[in-house]
């Protein structure tokens, strides 16, 4: 853990590439996070956890702003990168499905539970963007749980708060997100 902290400090203090030193320290944990997230996807998914980690890693290390303050900040950035990748893939699939000549369906009667994993990602992303403006802390928690696949205990450790506090925050954030999705469906 101390070695990780030193590498992250070096990354933010200089322009020297640290990818070769940092990757071995965080790869297994990133792979575990990606595996948790990908286990919720439909069978036959073309994106595998390893590919998700590699894509997120590329986005994290090719970005010019590598000013990760600590482990928590790094894994938040990794969760955000995974979120963007999954949303982009879901949007691309959704756009492909909406090809020309297809009949338009009224989705107001469709229950959220009837949606595909890609549609759920897009529903969550759309509502999450609104929630980021309204309550950024809730949005961060949802990103860590839904897109990052972190447990309450992991989030509690990252944020230096009690696990019970994370459970309460998660209950509120989940309820608020559900309410926003339902509101969007009723329009």
- Computed on alpha carbons and rounded to an integer, the radius of gyration of the chain in Å comes to 18
Domain boundaries, the chain: 2-186
Q: What is the pLDDT of residue 10?
A: 62
For the packed helices 2-13 and 19-38, what is the interaxial angle rounded to 10 degrees? 110
pLDDT interval class at 167 (50, 70, 90): very high
Cβ atoms within 10 Å of 143's Cβ, excluding its own: 22
pLDDT interval class at 169 (50, 70, 90): very high
Residue 30 has pLDDT above 90, yes or no: no
Query: For 165-171, what is the mean pLDDT?
Result: 91
Cβ(79)–Cβ(150) under 8 Å? yes
Which residue matches tokens 């990818």? 19
The per-residue pLDDT for range 78-107, each reduced to its tens digit, is: 888 888 888 888 787 776 555 534 444 343
Residue 155 has pLDDT above 80, yes or no: yes
Cβ atoms within 10 Å of 37's Cβ, excluding its own: 22
Residue 185 has pLDDT above 60, yes or no: yes
Query: For 119-125, what is the mean pLDDT?
Result: 80
Q: What is the pLDDT of residue 184?
A: 74
Residue 63 has pLDDT above 70, yes or no: no
pLDDT interval class at 29 (50, 70, 90): confident
Residue 8 has pLDDT above 70, yes or no: no
Query: For 21-49, what is the mean pLDDT?
Result: 76
Cβ atoms within 10 Å of 123's Cβ, excluding its own: 18
Residue 59 has pLDDT above 80, yes or no: yes
């Amino acid at each position: 853990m101390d070695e990780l902290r030193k590498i992250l400090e070096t990354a933010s203090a200089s322009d020297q590439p640290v990818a070769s030193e940092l990757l071995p320290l965080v790869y297994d944990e990133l792979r575990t996070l990606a595996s948790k997230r990908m286990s919720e996807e439909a069978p036959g998914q073309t994106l595998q956890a390893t590919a998700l980690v590699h894509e997120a890693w590329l986005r994290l290390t090719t970005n010019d702003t590598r000013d990760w303050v600590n482990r928590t900040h790094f894994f938040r950035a990794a969760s955000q990168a995974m979120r963007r990748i999954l949303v982009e893939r879901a949007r691309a699939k959704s756009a492909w499905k909406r090809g020309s000549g297809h009949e338009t369906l009224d989705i107001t009667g469709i229950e959220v539970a009837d949606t595909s994993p890609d549609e759920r990602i897009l529903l969550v992303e759309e509502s999450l963007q609104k929630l980021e403006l309204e309550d950024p802390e809730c949005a961060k928690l949802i990103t860590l749980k839904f897109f990052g696949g972190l447990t309450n205990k992991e989030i509690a450790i990252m944020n230096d708060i009690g696990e019970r506090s994370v459970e309460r925050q998660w209950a509120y954030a989940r309820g608020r997100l559900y309410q926003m999705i339902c509101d969007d469906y009723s329009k």
